């Protein structure tokens, strides 16, 4: 029987790199360039916010003046509209 002395395939190596790339994609923060400044909610507005929304990091969307909160999901972290208990977006007046 003849013994072969072959170089190991780099298929396994590529597979490990690819799988590692998938793992590093988790926890990505998507920050919209239209989200301008951080704001603090006045107490009377904070009372109207629906439960389950983190108000520690709020931004103003420059396009419409609506508030966005930082939502940490299982795959990514992104900003989504802050809503009232009635489901309406919370917006502020834009300066002219």
| Strand 76-81 with 28-30, pairing | parallel
Q: Is the pLDDT assigned to residue 89 strictly greater than 80?
A: yes
Confidence (pLDDT) at 66 = 93
pTM of the model: 0.63
Average pLDDT over residues 67-88: 94
| CA–CA distance, 40 with 66 (Å, rounded to integer) | 13
Q: Where are the beta strands (DSSP E) in 2-83?
A: 28-30, 35-39, 58-61, 67-72, 76-81
Q: Strand, helix or coil at 53?
A: coil
Give me the mean pLDDT over the 63-78 stretch.
92
Whole-number pLDDT of residue 95 = 66
Query: Mind listing the pLDDT tens digit for each residue in 3-59?
Result: 555 555 544 444 443 333 333 344 555 567 778 778 889 899 999 999 999 999 999
- Of 23, 28, 20, 19, nearest to 73 by C-alpha is 28
Q: What is the pLDDT of residue 32?
A: 73
CA 69 from centroid of its chain's CA atoms: 10
Q: Which of 29, 27, 34, 47 is nearest to 90 (CA)?
A: 47
pLDDT given at position 91: 93
Domain residue ranges of the chain, discontinuous segments joined by +: 27-96
């Amino acid at each position: 029987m003849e013994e072969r002395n072959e170089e190991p395939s780099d298929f396994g190596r590529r597979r490990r790199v690819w799988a590692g790339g998938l793992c590093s994609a988790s926890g990505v923060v998507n920050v919209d360039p239209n989200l301008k400044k951080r704001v603090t909610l006045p107490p009377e507005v904070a009372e109207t916010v629906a439960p389950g929304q983190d108000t520690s990091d709020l931004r103003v969307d420059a396009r419409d003046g609506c508030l966005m909160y930082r939502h940490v999901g299982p795959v990514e972290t992104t900003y989504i509209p802050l809503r009232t208990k009635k489901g309406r977006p919370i917006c502020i007046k834009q300066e002219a």
